């Protein structure tokens, strides 16, 4: 099996040629290689394909459903473009790998992400702020009627993600496009409070203005529908946010060696 997780995931990327070559053409080449060599293929899609979430977060592989999606940034558009290529190939009964699955990852966090620069999880960023003695800094809301800190995302512990990928390895009959999230949206304020609690300091949150490059590209709400993953037979349970944050902070970030 090939697990293809590499991509330019920076949501503010602007080099369209480079992002297309990395996120679409490389994926297409690997799809064809796996098809020609009878190798199973699991690739990373993204919750960024859903855009502002106005039409929901259903991992529907049908072309009419996919063609309605409107991602907010170049990263989301390229991930969506490859999902469409896969869906069209499957609908047309063209050759494909003996098993394939596209995984729409939501907000993954956990150890071994330290190389990701600005795309590192917000839990790690908030931990560093709090551990240095400052407040956890969150963006002010730009959505009318939405309070500061009440922007919500579906945060998923990396161990749960690994479990789903290993389950696919053991389930060669399972094919499709699947959301990989918990099915429960939690607020950034919940997250910041959980980080403070895990570090063992009083809760302290400061709100700052959203950077201009993120305005109009920011998802204020994501929540995975996991019904298709469950219908396919996945039995695992998902780690609650507070427990995942505690595990990340206390078992990794505060240890001399933060790696798995």
Q: What is the mean pLDDT of the chain?
A: 97
Q: What is the reported pLDDT for 216?
A: 79
- Residues whose CB is less than 8 angstroms from the CB of residue 220 and which lie 6 or more positions away in sequence, other chains included: 52, 141, 142, 143, 146, 151, 152
Give the model confidence (pLDDT) of 96-121 as tens digits: 999 999 999 999 999 999 999 989 99
Of 79, 40, 224, nearest in space to 87 by CA: 79
- Residues whose CB is less than 8 angstroms from the CB of residue 86 and which lie 6 or more positions away in sequence, other chains included: 31, 96, 100, 102, 177
Helix, strand, coil: what percent of the chain each, to 5?
A: 40, 15, 45
DSSP summary character for residue 100: E
DSSP summary character for residue 220: S
Residue ranges and CATH numbers for the domains of the chain are 2-248 (3.40.50.720)
Q: What is the reported pLDDT for 140?
A: 96
Give the model confidence (pLDDT) of 26-79 as tens digits: 999 999 999 999 999 999 999 999 999 999 999 999 999 999 999 999 999 999
Q: What is the reported pLDDT for 4?
A: 98
Taking the C-alpha atoms of residue 28 and residue 159, their distance in angstroms, rounded to an integer, is 28
Instruction: Just list the catalytic residues.
Output: 75, 116
Q: What is the reported pLDDT for 214?
A: 82
Give the model confidence (pLDDT) of 170-228 as tens digits: 999 999 999 999 999 999 999 999 999 999 999 999 999 998 888 877 889 999 999 99
Residue 101 pairs with which residues in a beta bridge? 42, 176
């Amino acid at each position: 099996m090939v697990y293809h997780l590499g991509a330019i995931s920076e949501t503010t990327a602007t080099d369209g040629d480079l992002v297309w070559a990395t996120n679409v053409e490389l994926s297409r080449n690997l799809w064809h290689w796996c098809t020609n060599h009878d190798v199973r293929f699991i690739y990373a899609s993204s919750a960024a394909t859903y855009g502002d979430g106005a039409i929901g977060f259903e991992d529907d592989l049908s072309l009419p459903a996919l063609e309605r999606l409107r991602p907010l940034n170049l990263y989301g558009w390229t991930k969506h473009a490859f999902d469409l290529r896969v869906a069209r190939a499957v609908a047309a009964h063209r050759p494909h790998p003996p098993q394939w699955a596209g995984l729409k990852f939501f907000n993954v966090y956990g150890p071994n992400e330290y190389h990701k620069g600005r795309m590192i999880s917000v839990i790690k960023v908030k931990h560093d702020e709090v551990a240095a003695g400052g407040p956890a800094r969150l963006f002010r809301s730009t959505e009318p009627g939405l309070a500061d800190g009440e922007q919500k995302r579906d945060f998923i512990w990396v161990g749960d993600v690994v479990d789903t990928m290993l389950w696919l390895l053991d389930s060669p009959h399972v094919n499709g496009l699947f959301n990989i999230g918990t099915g429960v949206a939690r607020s950034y304020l919940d997250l910041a409070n959980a980080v403070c609690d895990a570090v063992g300091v009083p809760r302290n949150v400061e709100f700052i203005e959203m950077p201009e490059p993120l305005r109009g590209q920011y998802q204020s709400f994501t929540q995975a529908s996991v019904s298709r993953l469950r219908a396919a037979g996945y039995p695992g349970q998902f780690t609650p946010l507070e427990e995942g944050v505690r595990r990340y902070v206390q078992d990794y970030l505060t240890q001399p060696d933060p790696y798995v």
